[in-house]
Structure 1
Amino acid sequence: MAFRDAAHIFQRLRNGTVPDRGLEAFAVGIERHRKELQRKLDEVRNGEGDVKFLRGGYGCGKTFMANLVIHDAQRSGQEAQKRGFATSFVVVSDNDLHFHKFDELYRKVVSGLSTPACAQGALGDVLDRWIGGIEEGLVELGLSEDDPTFDERVLAKLDEQLVALTGGRAPADMIRVIRKIFELKQAGRVQDAAALVSWLSGSSNVAAGLKSIAGVKGDISSSDAMAYLRGILEIIKSAGYTGLVIVIDEAEAILRMRGDVRGKSLNAIRQIVDAASSYPGLLWVFTGTPTFFDDRQGVKGVEALYARIKYEEFNGVPSLRQPQLALKPFDRERLLKVALKLRSLHPDLAPEEAERRLPKELIEQLVDTVTAGFRGDVGVVPRQFLRTFVNVLDVLADDPDQDAQGLLGFEPAGLTPEEEAVLAGRKLEDPPPDDAFGGAGVAM
């Protein structure tokens, strides 16, 4: 592993967060689940559109698995000289994302677009690759780039492809803006073109004068947002990427929303599930807790959605291929395997030295010490354990004379509400009862 990636992994774990890259280096105990998600990626690569739900309690590794899906998606097909999937990772928040407002969802998805070639804000790069492909196609047909009609021919082909790819469902304003982006770039007005790319990404902070030049008024509306997403998906595929994977993390945050907003948000998920097959090349991946799926305040309260994605076990054995993929809580053995993997990856500690100074027996003691601090609940331990383990490795790397045995005391820090609850020996509060669900549908 590259030093840069190893350093990134340890920096993120020090902060108690999931790394953005290098996850495969310490992904243990989830091989079957990962294989199922790779199977789903293969289906979408072959023209399907679908939704998958990752189900698990606190500490099960839902966010880790969701990030691993992003990793696998972007690298999918690269062995065949393809570009892999474009991806977007959205965290549900009861403060800044009302899920039922599709314009807000669209903005989060498109502004966070990532590709193997562009780590963040990739829409502009995707548009350039798509338009570049159109230009190359015209040149291959014998048209010179110096031909005075070349730009007009590119615009005509651009219109033709958008209409054909979306079945005529691309919003007229979308076509106008993309045309204007091309024209502005050809005229050397790169900043103005970038501002219109921001508008196409869902931004509401684009000057009215510039929107007027493009022939549009206002911003992308909630009722039009999914049609725009369809257009973006087709452009992504036409730019040479396999498709689009959208991760919606921490869907359980919807349970904390006001009753009417929560109901509309759940209804929005139902609409996405119902329409998924009509977006070939798009995979949605949601993560959520069992309470989100099984409580009447959550998915179970929307009968049509619950029936579609209901979780089932057969004599205690679930199918991995059903809509909900259940992730198992960490156990002692899996935590040890992760620790042993990380021990060999520290960027400033040679693997042989790390193994000599921090043998497996001491790691087992640390697992037991941290677990005891959380009343024996191994499932809630991983974040705190990994933070402590990384700190121990850091101290050993900083001081060659330090004895690891003297570092094995544990004092929890930076606790989440879930960790505080376990530490105090109490359960988290259930979602507060309130009114029924509601929400009008939006054309998908």
Structure 2
Amino acid sequence: MLGDIKPKEATAVINSLLGGVVPKIGVQHIAVGRTAEVNAFLSALEDVKNGHSMVKFWIGDFGSGKSFMMHLLNTVAIKQKFVVANADFTPENRLYANDGKAVALYTAIMDNIAIQTRPEGGALAVLLEKWIEQAIAGAAQESGLAPDVVRQPDHTDVIRRHIMRTINNITEVGGFDFGLVVTKYYEGYIQDDEQLRKNALRWLKGEYSTKTEARQDLGVREIIDDQNFYDMLKNFCKLFVSIGYSGFMINLDEAINLYKISTGAMREKNYEKILSIYNDCFQGKVAHLFVNIAGTQEFLENERRGLFSYQALKSRLETNKFETAGVRDFAQPVLRLLPLSHTEIFVLLQNLKQIFDFNYKTSIPVDDNDIRLFMEEIFNKPGASEFLTPREVIRDFLHVLSILRQHPETDKRKLINDIEITDERPQESLKHIEEI
């Protein structure tokens, strides 16, 4: 049942879930109950591969599996040769700002870029070097020089001209400075100048705060900031496709933090940016870009603070009126994540037991009957129907396994009976936040 799980994946799954967070790798081994959503996503990926762009909103209550779904989408997209990146909205990261909070989101995206050989992120330098190797080969072919000859310092201008010409063909806004910085990265790459490469990466990741410092280090006129970061993401999308990747997928989680922005005007500007990205993708103004945004029902539907407070978004994101719980429309922009059934949770716990045993090279004496007993106990506890989330079920189950592994003499039935339900939802009641 485990399939081809790797030891590194098993460790990531167990350690992350014990810590109450979603693992970055290995999530496909614990994916249950989301087959229809994944199949719809695969269909959408095919469209994006073919040059279309897409925005999807993944909506569910706290603990419904939104973050898990984002990581599962990453795993699926990486196998389809997409470059992917995850980032969370926070009080300091948002889509629109004038105090550095938007470029902070951009930096988080660039830090988390992942590909099949680097699924945990940090793949930007690998991609740049891959692109540069292609540029060197292209320059050699154009100039009639052998690849090892064109790499020599006296042919740097040949490479520089080729890089700038290629960059100009695949970029729109800020193409000159973007190309200049990529050229600087090339020079650092060829000359083994680590500092120059670091400076170029720093610029490309939006980490320069002043134009003066960037000009001193790299000779560029501009920096990536709150106003132009989205244009740079589109530039990178084109660059990744030019390398041979299917597209660029960006997952943005914790969208409730946009809902929480206290100033109405600032909140509206962020929603306006979502609308801009949405229109770019569905009107064909950008190609091979896939943006996923995960948030709660409150973030979507609240007409005072949510996306539905912005009429242009409400008209685009309202649910297909013919959809029912049994007849779903997975082609629409909004996908609602329904709670896992008890049968699906049972299968999930079975899978976790196998991964746990595989990770620790053990065989905990917990069988299907024990899993059923665990589920009966936890789902019948006071408060379970109101507070219990899959996250807490998983963590309690792994805690039981962890105790039994370290203390085999422990009575497993007593452990299960001692489980208590706690309310893990955010303490702040969002429904009662007043407009400021």
TM-score by length of 2: 0.88
Partner of 2:375: 367
Q: 1:348-407, CA deviations, whole angstroms, 9 ceiling, x for partnerless residues?
A: 5668x44xx222222122223222335242783311111111111122222444442232
Task: After TM superposition, give the deviation of residue 413 of structure 1 in Å.
Answer: 8.0
Q: Which runs of 5+ in 2 are unaligned?
A: none
Residues 329 and 379 of structure 1 are in contact (CA less than 8 Å); yes or no, is this contact kept in structure 2? no
Residues 255 and 431 of structure 1 are in contact (CA less than 8 Å); yes or no, is this contact kept in structure 2? no
1:290 aligns with 2:297: yes
For residues 61-72 of structure 1, the aligned pairs below 5 Å read 61-72=65-76
Picking from 244, 260, 267, the partner of 2:265 is 260
Q: Distance in 2 between matches of 1:233 and 1:184?
A: 23
Q: 1:52-91, CA deviations, whole angstroms, 9 ceiling, x for partnerless residues?
A: 1111112221111110001111111xxxxxxx11111011
Task: After TM superposition, give the deviation of residue 322 of structure 1 in Å.
Answer: 0.5
1:311 aligns with 2:319: yes
Q: Are residues 123 and 414 of structure 1, via their aligned partners in 2, closer, same or farther at CA, if it must alter by over 3 Å? A: farther
Partner of 1:146: 149
Amino acid across the alignment from 1:156: R
Q: Distance in 2 between matches of 1:391 and 1:58?
A: 21
Picking from 89, 92, 95, the partner of 1:92 is 89
Task: After TM superposition, give the deviation of residue 205 of structure 1 in Å.
Answer: 5.7
Q: Distance in 2 between matches of 1:165 and 1:241?
A: 14
SS at match of 1:244: strand
1:337 aligns with 2:342: no
SS at match of 2:84: strand
1:279 aligns with 2:286: yes
Further displaced range: 276-285 or 96-105: 96-105
Task: After TM superposition, give the deviation of residue 246 of structure 1 in Å.
Answer: 0.2
Across the aligned residues of Structure 1 and Structure 2, the Cα RMSD in angstroms comes to 2.5
Q: Are residues 313 and 337 of structure 1, via their aligned partners in 2, closer, same or farther at CA, if it must alter by over 3 Å? A: farther
Amino acid across the alignment from 1:99: L
Q: Distance in 1 between matches of 2:307 and 2:382?
A: 30
Task: After TM superposition, give the deviation of residue 225 of structure 1 in Å.
Answer: 1.8
Q: Are residues 155 and 89 of structure 1, via their aligned partners in 2, closer, same or farther at CA, if it must alter by over 3 Å? A: same
1:394 aligns with 2:391: no
Further displaced range: 258-267 or 208-217: 208-217
Q: 1:6-61, CA deviations, whole angstroms, 9 ceiling, x for partnerless residues?
A: 12111111111111111111111111111111111111111111101111112221
Q: Distance in 2 between matches of 1:273 and 1:223?
A: 17
Q: 1:151-173, CA deviations, whole angstroms, 9 ceiling, x for partnerless residues?
A: 2222111111111123x544322
Task: After TM superposition, give the deviation of residue 315 of structure 1 in Å.
Answer: 5.7
Q: 1:216-269, CA deviations, whole angstroms, 9 ceiling, x for partnerless residues?
A: 246323222222222111111222322111001011221111123222211111
Q: Distance in 2 between matches of 1:209 and 1:253?
A: 32
Partner of 2:79: 75
Q: Are residues 191 and 254 of structure 1, via their aligned partners in 2, closer, same or farther at CA, if it must alter by over 3 Å? A: same
Q: Distance in 1 between matches of 2:392 and 2:128?
A: 42
Amino acid across the alignment from 1:54: W
Picking from 270, 274, 278, the partner of 1:269 is 274
1:129 aligns with 2:130: yes
Task: After TM superposition, give the deviation of residue 281 of structure 1 in Å.
Answer: 0.9
Residues 348 and 397 of structure 1 are in contact (CA less than 8 Å); yes or no, is this contact kept in structure 2? no
Q: Distance in 2 between matches of 1:373 and 1:192?
A: 60
Amino acid across the alignment from 1:137: G
Q: Are residues 123 and 348 of structure 1, via their aligned partners in 2, closer, same or farther at CA, if it must alter by over 3 Å? A: closer
Residues 107 and 205 of structure 2 are in contact (CA less than 8 Å); yes or no, is this contact kept in structure 1? yes
What percentage of aligned pairs have identical amino acids?
21
Q: Are residues 124 and 413 of structure 1, via their aligned partners in 2, closer, same or farther at CA, if it must alter by over 3 Å? A: farther
Q: Distance in 1 between matches of 2:323 and 2:45?
A: 29
Q: Are residues 395 and 163 of structure 1, via their aligned partners in 2, closer, same or farther at CA, if it must alter by over 3 Å? A: same
Partner of 2:115: 115
For residues 154-169 of structure 1, the aligned pairs below 5 Å read 154-166=159-171, 168-169=172-173
Residues 20 and 391 of structure 2 are in contact (CA less than 8 Å); yes or no, is this contact kept in structure 1? yes
Residues 164 and 180 of structure 2 are in contact (CA less than 8 Å); yes or no, is this contact kept in structure 1? no
Q: Are residues 3 and 251 of structure 1, via their aligned partners in 2, closer, same or farther at CA, if it must alter by over 3 Å? A: same
Q: Distance in 1 between matches of 2:225 and 2:414?
A: 60
Residues 336 and 364 of structure 1 are in contact (CA less than 8 Å); yes or no, is this contact kept in structure 2? yes
Q: Are residues 412 and 135 of structure 1, via their aligned partners in 2, closer, same or farther at CA, if it must alter by over 3 Å? A: farther
Further displaced range: 320-329 or 375-384: 375-384
Q: Distance in 1 between matches of 2:74 and 2:221?
A: 35
Q: Distance in 2 between matches of 1:108 and 1:251?
A: 15
Residues 256 and 431 of structure 1 are in contact (CA less than 8 Å); yes or no, is this contact kept in structure 2? no
Q: Distance in 2 between matches of 1:155 and 1:209?
A: 23
Partner of 2:205: 201
Q: Distance in 2 between matches of 1:251 and 1:108?
A: 15
Task: After TM superposition, give the deviation of residue 209 of structure 1 in Å.
Answer: 5.0
Amino acid across the alignment from 1:143: L
Amino acid across the alignment from 1:104: A
Q: Which runs of 5+ in 1 are unaligned?
A: 77-83, 422-427, 436-444
Residues 245 and 282 of structure 1 are in contact (CA less than 8 Å); yes or no, is this contact kept in structure 2? yes
Amino acid across the alignment from 2:165: E
Amino acid across the alignment from 1:91: D
Residues 199 and 219 of structure 1 are in contact (CA less than 8 Å); yes or no, is this contact kept in structure 2? yes
Q: Are residues 188 and 41 of structure 1, via their aligned partners in 2, closer, same or farther at CA, if it must alter by over 3 Å? A: same
Q: Distance in 1 between matches of 2:213 and 2:225?
A: 19
Partner of 1:80: none
Amino acid across the alignment from 2:95: F
Q: Are residues 67 and 431 of structure 1, via their aligned partners in 2, closer, same or farther at CA, if it must alter by over 3 Å? A: farther
Partner of 1:14: 18
Q: Distance in 2 between matches of 1:286 and 1:150?
A: 45
Q: Distance in 2 between matches of 1:348 and 1:109?
A: 31
